[in-house]
Structure 1
Amino acid sequence: MTPVEIHRGDSPIVLGLPHTGTHVPADIKARLNARGQGLDDTDWHIHTLYDGLLPGATTVRATFHRYVIDANRDPSGVSLYPGQNTTGLVPLTDFDGQDIWNTPPTEDEVEARRQAFHAPYHEALEAELERVRDLHGVAILYDCHSIRSHIPFLFDGTLPDFNIGTNLGTTCAPEIEAAVQNLCEMAEGYSSVTNGRFKGGWTTRHYGRPADGLHAIQMELAQSTYLKDEAAPWTYDTEKSARLRGYLKTILTTLADLAPDLKGTS
């Protein structure tokens, strides 16, 4: 299986999908314990949730699971959130802080996985962002994520439904952050926060260079907004999803419409 799937479009929007893949090579799967083999920390069905919302959007999707290697972590291994519980380049625990390996990978094995999985994903994502910027003079990376709304190991209480991340406003033009924030605040029946517990992962921080015409924003959705239950078998709820998709479509369409006004503003 190829490590990355690409669907090219002619919109200024690129959707990043680093955590929806569930492929684990057999030799790696054999080293995961029973908990790890459950793949509970997947961004379940996010590629389905966003499918077809914005005609012409480019999508770049990692097919491998984050337990193989996390495509949204710094390849050097530097923590996204120093001093807070989080998971690393190759997670040793799940989001509940429980071990997931019978035999954890060595440093050499992590490097081999970086070359085989992490690097091809980012080479593809960077190439698509540059292609789109060449077409439009600007590219907007919208990084698609989801997570359970209750994870005491990572955060207190209940996570808001929409979690917008721009690394404190540094990864995109203020117009982008404001537009998404306003739409989320107006979404009836949903809660939202900007740069709360999740401020944007390595992908958003790495590619978000507004001065170069590259803008990036992360959307972390609470899985309660579109799954029947936040537990196995992680069933996609078509009724919940249909309602949520309406708001997500408005967000993506608004960003696409906003893109021409961003040219020459850096």
Structure 2
Amino acid sequence: MTPVAVHRGASPVILAFPHTGTEVPPDIAARLNAEGRVLRDTDWHIHRLYDGLLDDETTVRATFHRYCIDANRDPAGNSLYPGQNTTGLVPETNFDGAPIWADGQEPSARDVADRLERFHAPYHAALLAEVERVRALHGVAILYDCHSIRSPIPFLFEGDLPDLNIGTDGGATCDPAVERAASEVCGAAEGFTSVLNGRFRGGWTTRHYGRPETGVHAIQMELAQATHLADGAPPFALDPSRAERLRAVLQPLLRRIEAVAPSLKKASR
């Protein structure tokens, strides 16, 4: 099993997909319970949604499922949202708070260390290599971290999540021009709701790589799955009409972000 798939492009934009993978090696799959084997918390079809929206972007996609280990969590195990319900580096429950491991099969500290080496580290080594390569090409790199989530999920947040959730950790992970570009396109998207730095302010990937002063700008987009899935239950099928309507927003969003790259190069000098 190859833990990461990389497509190299010449655009200053890198699309990262830490949660679209559905591969679970047999030694891990055997320890999941019936609920865990549903893989409910996958970012279903997100890589398909973004496919072809830019002419020559780089993509970095984890092939392993987040129940093996979450590529968008701090490898030290620190919580992204202290004091709030969330899932950890190796989740013990799904997003509803339901156990995903068979009784007595919960991952140990040794399991976590093994999965860091097998999955988490290779994914981030590949992502870092592409960030450095793209920055060398353009003087800047814009990392756009692609996510989706069911809504509502009472275990994680109250009410319904907005359709388009932009995260920049309060503006710390990118130049204001990147944040402004995303906010303006999403805010003008007819029929869609959006928020900047709401419940999701950007995960570990966004916060770890986003260093505007070095020319690396990171932004997270969390999409409510109701914007593109036929149903939030198995088989989690993509709704083609919803998907095309959403792609009509995501394409100008990405192109607008890509267009600000030359100004970022000047700002980071």
Whether TM exceeds 0.5 here: the answer is yes
Q: Which residue of 2 aligns with 1:84?
A: 84
Find the aligned partners of 1:55 and 1:37 in 2 and give their Cα distance: 36
Give the whole-Å Cα distance in 1 for the aligned partners of 2:53 and 2:76: 34
Aligned mates of 2:180, 2:259 — CA distance in 1: 14
Q: CA deviation at 1:246?
A: 1.1
| Deviation readout 1:57-111 (Å, 9 max, x if unpaired) | 0000000000000000000000000000000000000000011001111101110
CA distance in 2, matches of 1:45, 1:251: 19
Shift of 1:210: 0.1
Distance across 2 between alignment mates of 1:207 and 1:12: 15
Q: Which residue number in structure 2 is paired with residue 147 of structure 1?
A: 149
Q: Distance in 1 between matches of 2:83 and 2:49?
A: 33
What corresponds to 1:52 in structure 2? 52
Aligned to 1:119: 121
- Structure-2 residue corresponding to 1:241: 243
Name the aligned partner's letter for residue 209 of structure 1. Answer: R
Aligned to 2:197, which of 191, 195, 211?
A: 195
Q: Match for 1:211 among 210, 213, 223? A: 213
Amino acid at match of 1:184: C
In structure 2, give the amino acid aligned to 1:86: T
What secondary structure, in the 3-state scheme, does the structure 1 residue paired with 2:172 have?
coil
Name the counterpart of 2:222. Answer: 220
Residue aligned with 2:146, SS? strand
For 1:185, the equivalent position in structure 2 comes to 187
Q: Corresponding residue for 1:175?
A: 177
Q: Which amino acid aligns with 1:238?
A: P
Residue 131 of structure 2 corresponds to which residue in structure 1? 129
Q: Can you list the C-alpha shifts for 1:155-196, whole angstroms capped at 9, x where unaligned?
A: 000000000000000000001101100100100000000000
Deviation at 1:116, TM superposition (A): 0.6
Q: Please, what is the CA RMSD of the aligned residues? A: 0.5
* Structure 2 gap segments, 5+ residues each: none
Alpha-carbon shift at residue 231 of structure 1 (Å):
1.1
Q: Mark the runs of 5 or more structure 1 residues left unpaired by the alignment.
A: none
Distance 1:95 1:157 in 2: 15
In 1, Cα distance between equivalents of 2:112 and 2:42: 20
Match of 1:23 in 2: 23
Shift of 1:264: 2.8
SS class of match (1:130): helix
Runs of 4+ in 1 over 6 A off after TM superposition: none
Amino acid in the other structure paired with 2:139: G
**Distance (Å, rounded) in 2 between the aligned partners of 1:163 and 1:255:** 16
| CA distance in 1: counterparts of 2:218 and 2:64, whole angstroms | 22
For 1:99 and 1:231, the matched residues in 2 are separated by: 17
> What letter matches 2:204 in structure 1?
W
Paired residue type of 1:43: D
* Counterpart secondary structure, 1:264: helix
Letter paired with 2:247 = R
Counterpart amino acid of 2:254?
L
1:105-131 Cα shifts (integer Å, max 9, x gaps): 110111010001000000000000100
CA distance in structure 1 between the aligned counterparts of 2:34 and 2:22, rounded to whole angstroms: 15
The one-character-per-residue Cα deviations of 1:211-232 (angstroms, maximum 9, x if unpaired) are 0000000000000000011111
* 2-structure distance, mates of 1:208, 1:264: 17
AA in 2 matched with 1:171: T
In the other structure, the counterpart of 1:33 is 33
